Structure 1
Amino acid sequence: MQNSEEKRNIELNSKQKSGWIKIAVIIVVIAAAFYGYKAWNGGKAAQPQATQAQSAEPLVIVKPVEKADASTQPSEYVGRVEAIQSVQVKPQISGEIAKVCFKEGSIVKAGQLLFQIDPAQYQATVALRKAELEQANANLDAAEKYYARVQAAETRAVSAAERDTAESNVLQGRAAVSQAKANLRLAEINLGYTRITSPITGKIGIANLTKGNYVTPASGALATIVQMNPVRVSYSLPDRDYLDQLELFKKEGSVYKTKLILSNGTELDVPGQRDFEDNAVDQMTGTVMMRLRFTNDGGMLIPGEMVRVFTQPVKSHIVNVIPQTAVMADEEGDYVYVVEADNTAHIVRVKLGREMGSLREVTSGLKDGQNVVVAGLQNIRPGVKVRIDTSASANVYDSNSALDATSGAEIVTSGDSGAAKEEN
């Protein structure tokens, strides 16, 4: 009995020990799993922190400053169409407008009647001046006849004073006739001013005053007429280009090929006639203002319109170029972001030349090979470090063939550049 009881106690103790061992094993496994997960998660957390620090640097695409032959495409300038003649039609006399004799917006011919001012009072004035002239002629005739009789009389029959008076009356009569003639001419001129005609052939605008309005010389312009054919286009070109154009004029005369592109994209291949160039270089812009004259039979060139002017190339010019997307501007002028060797971006002020498709000539501020930011500009500030997206830069912006296709400018290598300079 006692032995069996001891046996049960031993078995019970053995089961309790086995249970505690299992619990301990489970605790150890759980602890190992917990610390293992923590270590694994901590490793992952460290990686994003490093990635986050790296991603804090803005991602940009850069493009090196390159050289291009600017003469592989026509030189492009921005011009404005101007009327060679522009006239404000104003009244020369006072009176009521009796008739408007043109259609607004139409082409009027030189000498065409535009406005008719009521001529009644001016016709009456002409009639009055004619009567005054007739009276003056009659008085002169009487004075001359009397003077002739005095001259024919014997000296003792007429006093010297009477002779002088007769002669004076003749002279006064002649002066009165001249005055009457002048007054009549003035009246006829004023009567002519009642017919307001066009001084030139051109396109007339709106009638600022219409029938029934009383006008005076101080009333201002009744309408405006601009000459539509021919017209001229004025534009400014760099002094270097101006000198080249002078060489071209010497070779080919005053007419040479040009192309105009209007605001709606219409292209006009028309010869330009040399009309005028300024006598000095603008010291602020380094440009010379020039005008070309064009025929405008189709009426496509409207005075005041902005156009793009393309002139034929004169000779080879190797220039520094950057993509148009790199250029930014503020109140101080144009600038670009340049990325240095330590990947720090900073602002460089530049002076720009002609547009060459998707490229822009840089006349000063940059050196060949400097890296300028062409994409990602909205994310950077002066002095910050940036990350360069080399793959995108290589695929999109760093291809000479792609640049050539989009801009029309021939990108040259350093060796080609030297050769071109020697030719130039």
Structure 2
Amino acid sequence: MSFSEREKQEINGRSGSGTVKILLVLLLLAAGAYFGRSYLFGESGGQEPQATAPRAPQAPVVVLHRVERADLAVGREYVGRVEPIQTVSLRPQVSGEIEQVHFKEGSMVKAGQLLFTIDARQYKTTVALRKAELAKAEANYDRAVKYDRRLKAADSRSVSASDIEQSESDVLQRKAEVEQARATLQLAQIDLDYTRVTAPISGQAGKAFFTKGNYVTPSSGPLTTIVQMDPIRVTFSLPDRDYLAQLAAFRSSEAVYDAAIRLPDGGLYPEKGLRDFESNVMDEETGTLTVSLRFPNGDGTLVPGSMVRVEARPARSRVVAVVPQEAIMADGEGDFVYVVDEASVAHRRPVSLGDVVGKVSVVLSGLEPGERIVLLGLQSVVPEGKVAPVEATNGKGGKTPAELAQESDFDLETLETASPDRQAKDVAGGSN
């Protein structure tokens, strides 16, 4: 079988084209294998593999708190009971029928005001009788005195010594009878006065337990009660710990608390309380001391026996440096905080702490007002390491340092685990 020249050229051309395609595919595979090895094992041109340089760690984001001085003489609330300073239970002192009730039940009465009248006829008659007895005794005394004078003026030869002694004795006896009659008259007058029952104090009268026509005796029970309404007393139980904290103030004669009253309806009583007295014994069962305050009560808003809330703020201020308890850490060496300087470097600072009040601790030494300490993000702080500080703000003006320390708009766990960019965003945005 023979081929023409043209057919031979076409066959040779097809064979050459196929060979070229195969060679190109092999070259591509070889190049892919080479560069893939270099990518996986870090090989380049037969040189030794090189380690990739690690990225520099970013400074952790922390929320700062600026140390300030705060007045920790904060007020506290106690449950108080309203009590009258004086309470009088009026009882009859003589027996008799009630003629008249002169007051309206529940009304305000004044000291000396007539409240009840008891039938006084018997007692008036008794007074008249005692007056007559007194007059008789006085007449007998006058006669005895005159007789004694005549005896002593007579000639001593005509009067015996025994007569004079008897005369002097009669004078003394008649004088005693006068005194006795006068005392008996006073008793009768007192009984007569008791038929008019008057108010011994000013206050609010209660119910009249006996009315007109009832026969009463000293054993009949009270006629009515009167309670003093103005001023009035409010007592509350002070825990022994609070008492010891204000012991110096209690030992003085000055006010211990600036006290106000919160009424049951939530309203604030407009008058301020004054120091009245404190109990001289501590309740052994509750460990509390009874404290009494005196309040003006001209309009009768405070009713004896009612319960109120006593808002007592120490009268003496207590300005000290404080830090939130969240910012304090402790280890075997003691308590410490992280202080951040102007170069954003966190320094470990040991501190000496005092009392814990609410959510803040009193700083006795180790910090000065104005210094910045780490409040949130403590777990990410490295001593003498850089931090990315953010000032703590909550957008609520007018708060004291102690109040700001008690408020936190940030989630500490989320803040510490989030990325630095996310931390800065969350801190800047807060919870709003």
Judge same fold: TM > 0.5, yes or no: yes
Work out the CA distance in 2 between the residues paired with 1:318 and 1:156: 111
In structure 2, what residue type is equivalent to 1:187?
A: A
Structure showing greater Rg: 2
Task: Find the residue that maps to 2:285 and give its secondary structure.
Answer: coil
Alignment of 1:331-410 (within 5 A): none
Task: Find the residue that maps to 2:204 and give its secondary structure.
Answer: strand
- How far residue 255 of structure 1 moved from its aligned partner, in angstroms, is 7.1
Does the CA-based 8 Å contact 2:276-2:294 persist in structure 1?
Answer: yes
- How far residue 125 of structure 1 moved from its aligned partner, in angstroms, is 0.8
1:220 paired residue number: 221
In structure 2, what residue type is equivalent to 1:240?
A: R
Question: Residue 269 and residue 245 in structure 1: after superposition, are their counterparts in 2 closer, same or farther (change >3 A)?
Answer: farther
2:118 paired residue number: 117
Work out the CA distance in 2 between the residues paired with 1:319 and 1:71: 13
2:148 paired residue number: 147
Task: Find the residue that maps to 2:271 and give its secondary structure.
Answer: strand
1:421 paired residue number: none
Deviation string, structure 1 residues 359-395 (Cα, Å, up to 9, x no partner): 9xxxxxxxxxxxxxxxxxxxxxxxxxxxxxxxxxxxx
- How far residue 225 of structure 1 moved from its aligned partner, in angstroms, is 0.3
Does the CA-based 8 Å contact 1:100-1:115 persist in structure 2?
Answer: yes
Work out the CA distance in 2 between the residues paired with 1:211 and 1:309: 43
Question: Residue 250 and residue 170 in structure 1: after superposition, are their counterparts in 2 closer, same or farther (change >3 A)?
Answer: closer
Task: Find the residue that maps to 2:131 and give its secondary structure.
Answer: helix
- How far residue 286 of structure 1 moved from its aligned partner, in angstroms, is 2.1
- How far residue 412 of structure 1 moved from its aligned partner, in angstroms, is 6.8
Alignment of 1:166-315 (within 5 A): 166-247=167-248, 253-254=254-255, 256-312=257-313, 315=318
* Residue number among 406, 409, 415 corresponding to 1:411 in the alignment: 406
1:3 paired residue number: none
- How far residue 160 of structure 1 moved from its aligned partner, in angstroms, is 2.6
- How far residue 115 of structure 1 moved from its aligned partner, in angstroms, is 0.5
Does the CA-based 8 Å contact 2:324-2:406 persist in structure 1?
Answer: no
Work out the CA distance in 1 between the residues paired with 2:223 and 2:236: 31
Work out the CA distance in 1 between the residues paired with 2:230 and 2:73: 32
2:83 paired residue number: 82
Deviation string, structure 1 residues 86-144 (Cα, Å, up to 9, x no partner): 00011111111111010000000000001111111111111111111111111111111
In structure 2, what residue type is equivalent to 1:126?
A: V
Identical positions, percent = 53
Work out the CA distance in 2 between the residues paired with 1:306 and 1:409: 32
Work out the CA distance in 2 between the residues paired with 1:282 and 1:251: 22
Higher relative contact order (CA 8 A, sep 6+): 1
Task: Find the residue that maps to 1:291 and give its secondary structure.
Answer: strand
- How far residue 240 of structure 1 moved from its aligned partner, in angstroms, is 2.2
1:419 paired residue number: none
Work out the CA distance in 1 between the residues paired with 2:168 and 2:252: 74
Structure 1 gaps, min length 5: 1-68, 321-355, 360-399, 414-424
Work out the CA distance in 2 between the residues paired with 1:281 and 1:266: 31
Structure 2 gaps, min length 5: 1-69, 326-357, 360-393, 409-432
1:92 paired residue number: 93
Work out the CA distance in 2 between the residues paired with 1:83 and 1:220: 21
- How far residue 319 of structure 1 moved from its aligned partner, in angstroms, is 11
Does the CA-based 8 Å contact 2:323-2:405 persist in structure 1?
Answer: no
Work out the CA distance in 1 between the residues paired with 2:126 and 2:218: 19
Work out the CA distance in 1 between the residues paired with 2:152 and 2:197: 52
Question: Residue 77 and residue 136 in structure 1: after superposition, are their counterparts in 2 closer, same or farther (change >3 A)?
Answer: same
- How far residue 70 of structure 1 moved from its aligned partner, in angstroms, is 12
- How far residue 263 of structure 1 moved from its aligned partner, in angstroms, is 2.0
In structure 2, what residue type is equivalent to 1:279?
A: N
Does the CA-based 8 Å contact 2:151-2:159 persist in structure 1?
Answer: yes
Does the CA-based 8 Å contact 1:72-1:410 persist in structure 2?
Answer: no
- How far residue 216 of structure 1 moved from its aligned partner, in angstroms, is 1.1
Work out the CA distance in 2 between the residues paired with 1:77 and 1:229: 22
Question: Residue 176 and residue 115 in structure 1: after superposition, are their counterparts in 2 closer, same or farther (change >3 A)?
Answer: same
Work out the CA distance in 1 between the residues paired with 2:190 and 2:252: 52
Task: Find the residue that maps to 2:179 and give its secondary structure.
Answer: helix
Task: Find the residue that maps to 2:177 and give its secondary structure.
Answer: helix
1:336 paired residue number: none
Question: Residue 291 and residue 72 in structure 1: after superposition, are their counterparts in 2 closer, same or farther (change >3 A)?
Answer: closer
Question: Residue 136 and residue 252 in structure 1: after superposition, are their counterparts in 2 closer, same or farther (change >3 A)?
Answer: closer
Deviation string, structure 1 residues 166-195 (Cα, Å, up to 9, x no partner): 222111111111111111111111111111
Does the CA-based 8 Å contact 2:259-2:274 persist in structure 1?
Answer: no
Runs of 4+ in 1 over 6 A off after TM superposition: 249-252, 316-320
- How far residue 245 of structure 1 moved from its aligned partner, in angstroms, is 3.8
Task: Find the residue that maps to 2:273 and give its secondary structure.
Answer: strand
Task: Find the residue that maps to 1:183 and give its secondary structure.
Answer: helix
Alignment TM-score, normalising by the size of structure 2: 0.56
Task: Find the residue that maps to 2:289 and give its secondary structure.
Answer: strand
Aligned residues: 264
Question: Residue 318 and residue 243 in structure 1: after superposition, are their counterparts in 2 closer, same or farther (change >3 A)?
Answer: farther
Work out the CA distance in 2 between the residues paired with 1:410 and 1:104: 55
Does the CA-based 8 Å contact 2:73-2:313 persist in structure 1?
Answer: no
In structure 2, what residue type is equivalent to 1:411?
A: Q
Question: Residue 213 and residue 107 in structure 1: after superposition, are their counterparts in 2 closer, same or farther (change >3 A)?
Answer: same
Question: Residue 267 and residue 410 in structure 1: after superposition, are their counterparts in 2 closer, same or farther (change >3 A)?
Answer: farther
Question: Residue 293 and residue 410 in structure 1: after superposition, are their counterparts in 2 closer, same or farther (change >3 A)?
Answer: farther
Task: Find the residue that maps to 1:116 and give its secondary structure.
Answer: strand
Alignment of 1:41-80 (within 5 A): 74-80=75-81
2:126 equivalent to 1:131:
no
Does the CA-based 8 Å contact 1:96-1:117 persist in structure 2?
Answer: yes
Work out the CA distance in 1 between the residues paired with 2:324 and 2:221: 52
